[in-house]
Amino acid sequence: MVAVDTSAFYYIKKYLLGNDPIIRKKLKQAEETDNVTNINGNSNVSKANKVDAEISLSDIIKALDVANPSNRLAILKLFNHEDMVRLLDLMEKKDLLLGLKFFSRKSLLKFVMHLPKEQIVKMLKYFYSNEEILKFMSIKAVSDFLGSSKIKPTALFKAFEELPVDILAKILEGATWKKVGNKSKNNVLKELYQLPQELVVEGMRSLPHQERFDIVKKLIDKDEELMMEFQKKDLMRPIFNWQKPRIIESMQVLDDKLIIDMVSKLPNNHLAKVLTLLDPEKFVQALINFHSNLLFSLAA
């Protein structure tokens, strides 16, 4: 590990470790141990005193006072980017989200655009119901949705069973180009059941937009996975109108690893500030487990 901020290194050595009474005492004892020798070149200092002069990891940790955010920041400034990114896994999501405030709205939108569709839908559902999300979809998007191969015929006909006969008749006429006349609902359904699904889709697309919308809503209410059948650009329509705070608020539903990936792209000075929010106990444990050499070098 290489110190990347000399002013931070100086601050820690002089003001945190250099002013700590225990470490100052042990450094002085160690110096006396090195300088006091007898005529034969052997030290006159007892073995017990030599042990007392050794600075332990716990001495250093105590002197660093990592409960103080300013001290945590100074230590973090000695870390390289890779070391700081490793610490992000230890952070609470609410604190990771604060790190997103360092990004511009444009950068956040670019990040969201590259998310998997299921994550974008999770963001939308944080604020909106299924019906509200569908209302943002364009007429073309709703029409295109009806042709999805993921819509099972059984699900489609269950939705049909909830429709009034006049709408079913319009679908049948749009599919067959023939007048239905005064047929019962059961007879119309029976004829629709016998048609290939692609013709049924054409029949649905011949409906006015609101009636198509109602069918799509019924399908998605029964199977929310079908929301993935909209193109990403259509799902992004409402998000493009959100301001930065709203974007960040909705991102709390994302998987932690996705937020970490975004925050890890911050420059080191911003990343260090984010990491000052890390729980002090977790920070200490990380220092002990992975950065003990750095701590001893600071006290040398």
pLDDT digits (tens, 9 = 90+) for 37-52: 544 555 554 443 443 4
The percentage of the chain sitting over the pLDDT mark of 70, rounded to a whole number, equals 83
State mean pLDDT over 194-208.
Answer: 95
pLDDT band at 22; cut points 50, 70, 90? low
pLDDT of residue 42: 54
Cβ atoms 277, 95 nearer than 8 A: yes
Cα separation, 256 vs 233, whole angstroms: 24
% of the chain at pLDDT higher than 90? 68
As a whole number, the mean pLDDT across the chain is 87
Q: Does the structure show a pLDDT above 80 at 106?
A: yes
pTM beyond 0.85: no
Over range 207-220, report the average pLDDT. Answer: 96
pLDDT band at 5 (very low <50, low <70, confident <90, very high): low
The pLDDT of residue 55 is 73
Band (pLDDT 50/70/90 cuts) for residue 56 is: confident
Among 52-56, 194-198, 261-265, name the one with the lowest average pLDDT. 52-56
What's residue 187's pLDDT?
94
Strand partners, 43: 37
If pLDDT is split at 50, 70 and 90, which confidence band does 62 have? confident
Residue 145 has pLDDT above 60, yes or no: yes
- The pLDDT tens digits of the residues spanning 255-300 come to 999 999 999 999 999 999 999 999 999 999 999 998 888 888 776 6
Residue range 2-28: average pLDDT?
A: 62
